[in-house]
Amino acid sequence: MDPDQLAELASLLARPTDELSDDELIQAVRLADTDRDAARERLGRLLAALYQREGMSWPRLGEQTGIPFGTAHGLARPYIDRDESP
């Protein structure tokens, strides 16, 4: 998500939903969905980086981040080097 889209989303979310038009609500949903996808990718890449560090197991990663280790593994899997994949 680029900075302009993020600013637009923040502006829309700062207003009460009953003050937004249907078009503005639809745009907010689209932007939020784009941000959700981008956030999942960022989170997956960060979790993969942690996992690939020596000594960071999935259970430990879950304890340290508060993200269930199965969820963390699912998010990180696309970004883990194939040689290091469990």
- Answer whether 27's CB lies under 8 Å from 42's CB: no
pLDDT, mean of residues 69-81: 93
Exposure on the CB side of residue 71, measured as CA atoms within 13 A: 8
pLDDT, tens digit, for every residue of 5-36? 999 999 999 999 999 999 999 999 999 999 99
CA distance 31 to 8: 8
Question: What is the domain partition of the chain in residue ranges?
Answer: 3-84
Residue 70 pLDDT exceeds 90:
yes
Closest by CA position to 15, among listed 23, 2, 24 = 24
pLDDT, tens digit, for every residue of 30-57? 999 999 999 999 999 999 999 998 778 9
